[in-house]
Structure 1
Amino acid sequence: MLDREKIILMTEIAIEEKNDISEDKKIASYYIEDYLFINNFKTVFSILVLSVSMIFIKILLHIEKGKNIPTTASELVEEFVSPFVWNIILFIVIYSLISTYIYGNRYQKAEKRMKLYIEKKDQVQNYNNIEKGENNHGEFTII
């Protein structure tokens, strides 16, 4: 019976190692605050890059239509950046909240899977110790 349980556990461990554990180890190696900060930073940076790209496209369309290009920085900001500022701020806030929720759940699930994985590995180790006769504290073990 002991061998059957050990084989089942080892099979489960192998399946987990194949599927999720390598990614879970990376995720669980961070503190949750650091993991959330890094991924929120990536989200905010992506939104800013997208926003700057949109502003650049608007400038190119403005040039293509043959309109006058603003000559001062204040005119440039007023005509091309100001219309997007509140939208950018709104998108950053919304996507930061969404990414915090998503990455927080991902972290918690990874941490939970890692705990179960470690427990299974400990059970296999206990089965190995029982087979070797260790951890029996002088008592006989029937295998």
Structure 2
Amino acid sequence: MVNEEKVKLMNKMALYEEKYGKEDFKIASYYKKDYVSYQTIFTVIWVTIGYVVLFGVFAAAFVETFLSNVGLFAIVLFVLAAVALYLILVVSYGLFASRFYQKKHIRAKGRVKRYIRMLTQLDKFYSKERKKKNE
């Protein structure tokens, strides 16, 4: 005889495993602080790479005209502005990434906890069935 509750529970578990399972288990395996720090550092590194590439493209395209038409003070001012923009980008992306990945870790951890509760319920169903068979 098929237990309808057990089938529904197993269906929920299968849907969870398909949709979120692999990623949630990876995320939940980290402590929140470690996960957030790792992802934030990774984001800052990619922002830095992107900024350097864009700055390099800009510099390659306009370096000759820029250097021939402006003085030393303007060049120093431009470099300071570029560094300030970089710092603003890194700080803003770092804060955004930190908040984003904290929320992501919390949500993943909650889904994993619910999945573990479902596993416990499923185990109770099976232990009841074993008791009935042994009686």
Interval containing the TM-score (normalised by the shorter chain): 0.7 to 0.9
Which runs of structure 2 are paired with 1:35-50 in the superposition (5 Å)?
Answer: 35-50=35-50
In the TM superposition, what is the alpha-carbon distance from 1:54 to its structure 2 partner?
2.4
Q: What is residue 17 of structure 2 aligned with on the other side?
A: 17
Q: Is the 8 A contact 1:36 1:104 kept in 2?
A: yes
In the TM superposition, what is the alpha-carbon distance from 1:96 to its structure 2 partner?
1.1
- Mark the runs of 5 or more structure 1 residues left unpaired by the alignment: 69-74, 135-139
Q: What is residue 118 of structure 2 aligned with on the other side?
A: 120
Q: Which has the higher contact order (CA 8 A, sep 6+)?
A: 2
Amino acid at match of 1:100: S
> C-alpha distance in 1, partners of 2:30/2:114?
18
Q: Is the 8 A contact 1:59 1:80 kept in 2?
A: no
* Alignment: residue pair count: 130
- Mark the runs of 5 or more structure 2 residues left unpaired by the alignment: none
Is the counterpart of residue 51 in structure 1 residue 51 in structure 2?
yes
- Identity within the alignment, %: 27
In the TM superposition, what is the alpha-carbon distance from 1:43 to its structure 2 partner?
1.2
Runs of 4+ in 1 over 6 A off after TM superposition: none
In the TM superposition, what is the alpha-carbon distance from 1:57 to its structure 2 partner?
1.6
> TM-score, structure 2 length as denominator?
0.84
Q: Is the 8 A contact 1:39 1:99 kept in 2?
A: yes
Please tell me the root mean square deviation across aligned C-alpha atoms, in Å: 2.6
Residues 57-66 or 102-111, more deviating = 57-66
Q: Is the 8 A contact 1:28 1:111 kept in 2?
A: yes
> C-alpha distance in 2, partners of 1:126/1:117?
14
Deviations 1:18-63 (A, max 9, x none): 1101110000011111100111011111111122112212221234
Q: 1:66 to 1:132 in 2, by over 3 A?
A: closer
